[in-house]
Structure 1
Amino acid sequence: MSNLLSPAEDSFWSEQILGLTHLTLAVLLGLLLLAVATRFLTMRLSPRILKKVIRSDSIQSKTVKESDKALGTAAGAGISFYILNALLNLPANETTGFVLPGMLEDFIPNILQFIFAVSLVVWAFRLVSIVKDVVELFDKDGELDGSEKTLISAVESLLRFLIIALGAVFIADALGFNLTSLVAGLGISGLALALAAKDTISNLFGATTVLLDRPFKVGDWVIIDSVEGEVMEISLRTTLIRTAADTVVTVPNANLVNTPIENFGKRRWRRWQSLLHLDLNSDPDDVASFCDAVMELITASDVTVKHDSSWCQVTTLSAQSLDLSLNLYWDVAGGAPEREAKEKFLLGIMQLAKEKNLKFFDARMMLNS
């Protein structure tokens, strides 16, 4: 037993109920009320304090408003555990007073420590989502690019892993596990654990390779083995790919180390080739003028590059049509801008053909004749 306070033996505080003195019950009740009051004050005051320090509404919401219960519970349990632990470590004397039986002397502090650890882990786990808001706070252009999204995803995954690992240690300690013996036991079963975690370790190395070599980033359109789509998220274990069918494919990071990756997001330009089929009765001078006008249309565009390597020329004189070959290079950031540029360009070609009195080959006209 631990005698921490020393009231007179015949006083009210020394009387016992169910093996506990009145003083012990009063202290335990006081610690309970203190925990509840601390939780309430933390939930009430922390948003106001944070509002003066941080101006971002999103960070305020995720830090306190959405997880105020976990934060308040951690604060209440933490301060009660600290005070109780301090009382239990005071020099004991022979008189009765604040006395906890041997079982309760271990049980109550462990319960408080367990509640504190679990609440803190829950709050910290929810806090991970503010990484994106912090990056946006310091981002000058106000828009996150693929590299920043990749970094955010990696940092969030790493923080979650660390929180779970450290939280498991704290919770194990609160439950009374001997961490020294546990660590020593890992040395004995280390080989079995390493074999069991082989795939997990491979995925971690794969994630490290992706982050260091940067073969792709969040937002890139890639082909990995037989999977094609947009990179959604890069975590410590897997990479998520959204396909053109709007399905999500989970690719283990271990597969990325030895698999060829085709990244459309790193293209310097987008080559486009097509054929224009003109009527065989087209005037040669009009066709030549039309080709020159198409080249002017290409060079005048703001979204084309490599004009020296672009062309619009007659390539084939077939039995049915006069074929013109088109070759040009788009300088656009994604599929949607490319489609818009292509639409504008093709409508421009139709307008040029109309101005030059040229008609495109129509198989229906051949059938009618």
Structure 2
Amino acid sequence: MDTPITRFYSFLSQQSQAWGVDVLIITGLSFVVWIGWKMLSARLEGIADKTSFHWDNAVISALKTPVSTFIWCWPAMISIGLMLENVVEHSLDWLSTTKTLLVIFIFIWIILRLITSVEEQVLKEQRRDETTVQAIAKIIRLLFMIMGLLSAMQTLGLSLSGLLTFGGVGGLIVGLAAKDLLSNFFGGMMIYFDRPFKVGDWVRSPDREIEGTVERIGWRMTIIRTFDKRPLYVPNAVFSSIVVENPSRMLNRRIYETIGLRYDDAHKVEGIIRDVKSMLEQHPDIDARQTLIVNFNAFGPSSLDFFIYTFTKTVNWVYFHEVKQDVLLKVMDIIHDHNADVAFPTQTLKVEQAPFPQQQ
């Protein structure tokens, strides 16, 4: 009995015979092209690894996965069109739109992967400032993402002129709603342009409890690792309203110490100060071009105080303390060479004896 269900299955059988072979052929060709691309990319990678030019590796790495995806997705859309053209009565123009979107997506994907590969290669060579490289890479990524988004919207039939007109009003609404987000974004831009610090710098703020090493400067926040290894996530907008100190950009480190001599060594103070100053001027790790002062400073409660004010050539925190230790040990040797000594807190107690009563 010829029922509607039987006629429907008969129709599907005829249609499947019509496009089934084509789909199998397209799938087989896709597999062959994909195998060919895998072999070609592997061969190109082997050749690129043998060259001293590193940018060819970045290009091949950027192309490898997106091209493989395109090899499978484009024929898949053709196969879907063959399956649906005799089944669906409606227009299949949306498949053409989807193909265009696929091309835009693959192109932007390749560009983003290429930017990432170039960024990693430049940072690996350590010839450029890390913060500047990351900032340029982020800006280029953002530009291409916006271009891809606008191209996709135009492909979908949206009017860019109308969108830009709406963007004037919509931008105001979004700006009010996302005020903090935008302030953090522009705060990050100012960090990139003004460059008060970069990744790897030691920074601190006397206005806030912020001190540590900059790990990452993002669009919204900056990650600072404190010296006890705790991460601080600081919104970029904060840096526009606080004072930031960057000790990593110090030219020298200062030694400022006050040393007390015994009052019994008062006649030796001048010679000690002269020898200490001479020692500092000849010390290989002291920058004699900077301010260098060694002077008697004050009559202390239990010592004659002189101070040392000088700068080291190194800015490294660990090595600075080694230099400072060496300077202080040499100062102590000079004091001992003059048969003097460093004072320690003392008190002199004067006892007055009461007169004996007169005998009558």
TM over 0.5: yes
Structure scoring higher RCO (CA < 8 A, sep ≥ 6) equals: 1
What is residue 330 of structure 1 aligned with on the other side?
Answer: 312
How many residues matched?
Answer: 331
Query: 65, 74, 88: which is aligned to 2:66?
Result: 74
Query: Which one-letter code corresponds to 1:48 in the other structure?
Result: G
What does residue 238 of structure 1 align with?
221
Superposed, 1:61-210 pairs within 5 Å as 71-79=63-71, 106=94, 110=98, 114=102, 117=105, 121=109, 124-125=112-113, 128=116, 130-134=118-122, 137=125, 139=127, 148-162=129-143, 164-165=145-146, 177-180=156-159, 183=163, 187=167, 189-210=170-191
Matching residue of 1:30 = 28
Counterpart in the other structure of 2:6 = none
CA drift of 1:20 comes to: 4.3
Q: Shift of residue 311 of structure 1?
A: 2.0
State the structure with more CA Rg: 2
* 1:276 shift after superposition: 1.0
What's the CA shift string for 1:31-85, capped at 9, x where partnerless? 431453255235523412432555449x94x776xxx6x8444213324566788
Give unmatched runs, 5+ long, in structure 1.
Answer: 1-14, 90-95
Secondary structure in 2 aligned to 1:259?
A: coil
Aligned residue type for 2:259: L
Structure 1 residues 160 and 245, CA gap change in structure 2 (3 angstroms): farther
Question: Which amino acid is the alignment partner of residue 189 of structure 2?
Answer: T
Identity of aligned residues (%): 22
Q: Report the counterpart of residue 9 of structure 2 in structure 1.
A: none
> Which residue number corresponds to residue 51 of structure 1?
49
Amino acid in structure 2 at the alignment position of 1:124? L
User: Does the 8 Å CA contact 2:258/2:305 hold for their aligned counterparts?
Assistant: yes
Q: 1:126 to 1:99 in 2, by over 3 A?
A: same
Displacement of 1:264: 2.6
Work out whether residues 221 and 234 of structure 2, in 8 Å CA contact, stay in contact via their aligned partners in 1. yes
Equivalents in 1 of 2:153, 2:28: separation in Å?
A: 25
SS in 2 for 1:256: helix
**Residue in structure 1 matched with residue 323 of structure 2 by the alignment:** 341
Cα-to-partner distance string for 1:230-257 (whole Å, 9 max, x where unaligned): 3333333322222233222222222223
Q: Which digits, 9 at most, give the CA deviation of each residue in 1:296-317, with x for residues without a partner?
A: 1211123333667422222233
8 Å CA contact 2:295–2:306 kept in 1: the answer is yes
The alpha-carbon distance between structure 1 residues 44 and 322, as it changes in their structure 2 partners (threshold 3 A), is same
Residue of structure 1 in register with 2:196 after alignment: 215
CA contact (8 A) 1:274 1:327 kept: yes
CA distance in 1: counterparts of 2:119 and 2:260, whole angstroms: 55
Unpaired runs of at least 5, structure 2: 1-12, 350-360
1:261 maps to a residue whose letter is V
Residue of structure 1 equivalent to 2:258: 275
- In structure 1, the partner of 2:354 is none
Cα separation, 2, equivalents of 1:53 and 1:109: 41
* Kept after mapping to 1: 8 A contact 2:224/2:231: yes
3-state DSSP class of the match of 1:152? Answer: helix
TM-score (norm 1): 0.70
Aligned to 1:258: 241
Q: Which residue of 2 aligns with 1:41?
A: 39
Provide TM-score, normalisation by structure 2.
0.71
**What RMSD, in angstroms, separates the aligned Cα atoms of the two structures?**
4.4
Instruction: Report the residue type matching 1:344 in the other structure.
Output: D
